[in-house]
Amino acid sequence: MANNEIPGARLRLYLVRHGEVANFSERVVNGQKDVRLSERGEEQTQKVADELSRRPITAIYSSDLYRSRRGAELLGQKLGLKVVLMRELREMHFGEVEGLGWAEAVKRLGDSPLQWFDWVNNRFPGGENLLMLRERVIGAFRKITGQDQGETAIFAHGGVNRVILCEELGIDLKNFFVLDQSYACVNVLEYYSYQAKVIRLINGDISCLGPLLRFDFY
């Protein structure tokens, strides 16, 4: 490589949140409960798969829960790729309140501000806190970023994506909720030599990928 040549990204990663879930209007604590997508969620998922199928993606990873797996499998069908399912990429486990409406969950656990505003240190009974979620997710994420090259897609969940973004941005987990992750959003992360990385996009609509990636800003 010439001295004045700037190397391109070793890995471009598309981190996607699943589409709208079927029980969205019921405000349910889904966690690791395996729920379906709403009609709108299916449409969002198809749109994501269609747009990403235009990219030279060579590897697809996903949570094994349906709401994330659906998009990964659609993309895999379009590109002729097998999806690697990883339980480590499942959403945060909310234990005893999983499957309950948020109002009912609050009643079940009480109104302790520590429980509801400090997810870092306070573990949901029978479930996880954010430290446990990070340990589970980041271990799997590092395997992907350490071995993959080219362009890769990961289909996961709001909590999982926030943990990854906090880690890559160097943000304390107490700021977990500062990062929005809308249904069917896409985040674009690039990894270069010498452990350098660039976060190109956070919580973006899939339709902005074309303009964003039309040119390479190396």
* CATH number for the domain harbouring residue 201: 3.40.50.1240
Question: What span, in angstroms and rounded, lies between the C-alpha atoms of 124 and 159?
Answer: 14
Cα 11 → chain centroid: 17
Segment 49-69 shows an average pLDDT of 97
Residue tagged active-site, from 18, 98, 151, 168:
18
What is the rounded average pLDDT for all residues in the chain?
91
Is position 177 within any domain?
yes
Is position 4 within any domain?
no
Is position 175 within any domain?
yes
Give the global pTM. 0.92
What does the pLDDT look like over 115-168, one tens digit per residue? 667 899 889 889 999 999 999 999 999 999 998 889 999 999 999 999 999 999
Question: What span, in angstroms and rounded, lies between the C-alpha atoms of 58 and 56?
Answer: 6
What pLDDT is recorded for position 3? Answer: 47
Write out the residue range of the structural domain in which residue 195 sits.
11-210
User: Is 18 among the residues known to form the active site?
Assistant: yes
pLDDT score of 194 more than 80: no
What is the sign, positive or negative, of the torsion defined by CA atoms of 87, 92, 96, 100? negative
Question: What span, in angstroms and rounded, lies between the C-alpha atoms of 5 and 147?
Answer: 24
Residue tagged active-site, from 20, 51, 91, 168:
91
Is position 2 within any domain?
no
Using a 10 angstrom Cβ sphere, with 0-12 exposed, 13-18 middle and 19 or more buried, the burial of residue 26 is exposed
Structural domains in the chain (count): 1
Is position 66 within any domain?
yes
User: In this structure, which amino acid lies at residue 46?
Assistant: Q
